[in-house]
Structure 1
Amino acid sequence: MILEHILFDHNQLSGPIPTELSGIATLKILRLDKNNFTGEVPANISELHNLNVLNLANNQLKGKIPDLSSLTNLNVVDLSNNPFDPSVAPNWFSTLQSLVSVTIDSGGLSGPVPERLFTLPNLQRVIAISPTRRLVGNPVCLDSDSSSRSFCSLQQEDLESYRTNVTQCGSTTCSGDQGLDPATCSCAYPYTGKMIFRAPLFADPSDRTIFQQLETSLWKELGLRPGAVFLSDIHFSSDDYLQVQVSLFPSTGTSFDTSELINIGFAFSNQTYKPPSIFGPYYFIADTYASFSGGVGSGKSQMSKRAIAGTAVGCSFLLLALMSGATFAILKKRRLEQSSGRANPFASWGVAQKDSGGAPQLKGARFFSYDELKNCTNNFSENHEIGSGGYGKVYKGTIEDGTGVAIKRAEYGSKQGAVEFKNEIELLSRVHHRNLVSLIGFCYEQGEQMLVYEYVSNGTLRENLQARGIYLDWKKRLRIALGSARGLAYLHELADPPIIHRDIKSTNILLDDNLKAKVADFGLSKLVADTEKGHVSTQVKGTLGYLDPEYYMTQQLSEKSDVYSFGVVMLELLSARLPITKGRYIVREFRIAIDPNEHDYYGLQGIIDPAIHDAAKSAGFRRFVQLAMECVEESASKRPTMSSVVKEIETMLHNEGLSSSGSSVTEFEHAGQATGGPYSGAVVVTGSSSSGGGAISDISEEPSGSHRGTRY
């Protein structure tokens, strides 16, 4: 694995900066700004000779400003707002020929700014005095050439918007949601969104040639008409992120069709589109496509002024009535909360977290005190640690009745919002199924967020495929696929209202002592309260490589989004590969390689896991591949339901001469009923819940290595 980017800004990390970073010789971008790092900057940071961007701003770093003279590839450096020892400007200021931007305001500097600094050929920005003043009035800014130096003029904190030079289209104007296509000077519905670059290698947004490179790469790599890209509202945010509003225009007609939009959304969501290297890593926030949301020409009639006025008056009276009712309800609720505060550990949750949702509606999950969980893990000792992840650490413990449990403890700075925490508790405490991880209890005390699960001993599916923790032959993989599918089908078709998991992946499928699969981690799950609607409008959350491209493009979440993610897991079972490896996407690799005319391996001999080569010659193997590819169809309407997937895999096991441990034939005949069959006794969701809206930043990126321990 080649690691080039470490972007840990805004993570509330604390303690000293790890000296081990110097061992990552390939590192090009290091952003640790806006954390709580303390101590001195490690001296061996000067060994990162490939570093282009170094941002350590807004921490509590002390001692001397580090010597960066050996970092000859450094373009951007920001050491601002750290209590460094008072000193004059360091010599390396004026020796780094590649330097584009240097920022050390509020960093303890004193004395004159070295005039040699301004002889550097690529320098675009210098901020070395204060957060709001540049070098205006300094001698170097008084000569005749100073007009070309961006650091010699006062600029707004948010840089003025900039638009690239597009084809002159005269006075043509477009109405409604349409935009002017710069390639044809005609009106069309553009696909729009915001590209956010977290570590660009330049600081001057007025350099037209740079953004012309971005325009060209967009229309070329996305297969658009030459020039059919328009960039606008280009500026640096207060976090030094470069934000660019992007408008992409269709090559034919006035709007994109569904398949074109899916391809574009896939390119952005799975990072297969690569911008010019000078822009660095990015993420994309898509807007809802106007042509899908009832834009211009949707046939809506215009109301008369009299009708509008009448409606406004009626709405005003209705609003007053609602406000009065709401005020009464809030006062009543507060009185109830005050009266039950001592008995209910969640009575103050809504107030403390600025969340009006109140306490979670619990069935079957118990409240654990912090002391109880501390005692059963020997004060959360390392000996009890069995896993870790972005959320925090997982500890094995034994509670008073002798039950083995896994305790998922959120670390400081990595805690869920109250809404997400309640969401996971509510869902897991009311949904019981043998292929879903059971929630035993939770702790919300002394600033802690902990979830107490049943202990699942054999780790994640990812670990066992990658690290070979347990040998998984073909029949075991079929059973694992079946168990996972049954858990998902239960959520989709037997829960009332249905539940969409939204983060199905191989690290969220756990294996118990008998290799029974259990679906875990409901932190991103959504209830579909309106079953007639069939989808939920929501901002995109999920994991790159597993993300449904249609959901990413339309922001319309449905059960078929889980089906797509499960299809990717099926391909992992076949190949033991990560969804994205060295820029190659597993779905595309299978799609290209499949050869129906190749009898033995279906064209997949170079992709499938050698451990199951012998199974590849069976009819069941070929049908499993076909089913996986149906699940990852780009159009959601072409994907099967999870109950259909369950029945298909059961048939495969039956043909292998194996029992599928209970048939799903009766289970899904009457979706929505939880009586009878192998799931008798299941608790069906009957309430409602909502998870908080998220941003695109909620999309996580899977690490390329296997996880240590068990994920919950």
Structure 2
Amino acid sequence: MIEGSDVPFISSLVLRPLSKLLHPLNFSIYHQNSRPLVTVSRRNYGARNSSEYLRYSGSDSEGYSDVYDRIWEPDTDGTPLVTTQRTDFGLGTDNVPISVMQTARADNESFSLRFNVTAGSWYFYCQYFAEISPDVNGPGQRVFENADKNYSYTYKNTYDSYKDFQLYSTLLVYASHGIYVDFPPKFEVQLIRSNTSINGPIINAIEVFRYLNKDLSLGTINQEVSVVTTITESFGGLRSWNGDPCLPYAYNWLACSSDERPSINEIHLANQDLNGEIPSEIDSLKNLTVLSFASNKLSGSIPDLSSLSKLKVLDLRDNNLSGQIPPFLGELPALEKLDLSNNNLDGVIPEKLLTKALTSIIDLRLAGNENVCIAQNAEPFCNADGKPKKQSISLIVGISIASVATFVGVAVLLFFARRYSKCYIKPRPPYENGDARNISYKDIQSITNNFENEVGRGGFGPVYRGAFKNGGAAAVKVLSKDSTQGQKEFRNEVRLLSRVHHAHLVKLLGYCTEPELVLVYEFMANGSLFDSLHGGGELLTMWKDRLRIAGEAAAGLEYLHVGCDPPIVHRDVKSSNILINGKLCAKVSDFGISKSRNVRPFSMSTNEQQMWTTGVSSSTAVRGTPGYIDPLYVESRVPDASVDVYAFGVVLFEIVTGRKPITQDVEGDGKYIHIAEWAKSNHKRGQLSAIIDPRMSNVLSLTSVLMVVDLAVKCLDMNKKNRPNMSTIKQELQLALSVESNKDPSTTKSFENVEACYMRSFMHAR
């Protein structure tokens, strides 16, 4: 970089020819149609120190420097093994520098090598071995199993170091197959000592690559490349961007599809100090879903973007745009958010756009446009928050408000009718449901725009964001072929959620049974509590927000335990099954393995009946998620409400600490520790500050935190008779929230008294 400038420059460029005998290159050419491999990791095990990156460490002729300029990252984990003895190259060992092969990791029993990978991608690796210990001088002295694995499969081979690669001689082991990493993303290599071996396993180095599953020769769609070129040429500050906009990586202000020939899905050019007019050529980007030019100095009128049928977000706030609001904005079928705040627009809101805005199909914001805001029909959208005011402004507004009021009134009546009645579950045959409607697969495809926007993936399968014709959002779960769940869990979920209703239980809107099993839920904009605590969601920095979410989840579980006849045990309580909507209201989800008693369905086999009524097959298998499963349940295999209480205690510790239920010991010995063991140990020593999530704001009451920690300890008591029930847990959390808020507990809002929260979610669900 030039000092004082953000413009990069290059002084020289050296191109080195690569031998086709290099295993990664050979694999790319003959197995991947010459598609490139992206380096994930290149590690030198047993490195002398943590800052010793090897690349240029000696003469090329002596073999100490990397002839291909590869950078070998030091890895000092485990037991190091070092020699000054020169190692000889074995056949086809890819010219790994001798200095890399002179160090190794050689532990006594076993160790695992883990790598950060991406779900839905293919990987390839090369491992390098050299026996550099003079103590190994015969066959059978160092024999170990070498296994690469992910959640789907494991490949194993066994090596005798003396017999297979001998003293001071190298051996390359590579993946003769591509390794596909599914969800959850996990890729590791395990090396385990053979029972008959004197010494433990050894490894000197490894290279891990990800396939770039695109043919770069095709490039991004030509017309879209032309549009991006027009954009970069229109604004001087973007002229340094050139080359293919999506391949091999997208410009950092673009998002592209993963198609063979990528198309541009999103443009994010906010706060770029751009001058001039918005290029009309953008209308050619048919797959565009997000377009943001916010907070620039753009002038002129809003160009014709009527061809952008997939556009969901148009953000043009804080510019100098002029002219009238174009009618085509009301015609865009997918538009959900339109922010035109703080411009110089004039005229009135087009009729179709106004109708969509008043019925909440489009979130319209116009504040700061004086010539628009003086018009009577624009006034509701000129608040700072873009929310309509409660006023009668015209016939169309009156009709719209009356319609919404009627809908809200009906929803309120439905809510109270359900909320204050027992959720008695009448026996019904499979798929004959209460409120959840059977949705055709064609409609599912329409709701999800042919499964375009995947927002997550769980044990059931992928989750897609969908939208109903009236603009309401939905979460659509599709059972994947390799799912650990199946038809029984599907039936259980439909059966329970179509009859069990509570403000803090996720609402099932519909389901589909042919040709795939699909569940349609209300959309929870902020994902799960797990996402917020461990990355991927909105970070909850305020203790009171975490506390309130815990209380709301407890209220939902309490309703299952005591508000339903017969009671229901969830059996898979965990932070990833506590979902959070846009208002930070929490709802418990995923009832595939929930259990209720005393229900006799019709015309099923004995085993199927048991699964339908209890959620447990005749195998009496323990169900749940590691880290949250009650050890007493593992012993008895009889689930009751205490199973949920134990798991909720783990969740409470997650909320306090920000740690996952099971983490690797900080001592680096490869052992794993449960969050309860770690937290209770610090709690007993009075070291409360040691377990509080450091990402939380320090504006909190330590007393309320201590109350939650004490509650979590009670929930995890190994005598289940000493554990509190969910009603007590909810009350304790309500008390802790009142302490946090410095309020009288008697004036603190109950977690179950959440009609407003429920109504907000209900309005968006449809």
Calculate the TM-score normalised by the size of structure 2.
Answer: 0.41
By relative contact order (CA 8 Å, sep 6+), the higher-ranking structure is: 1
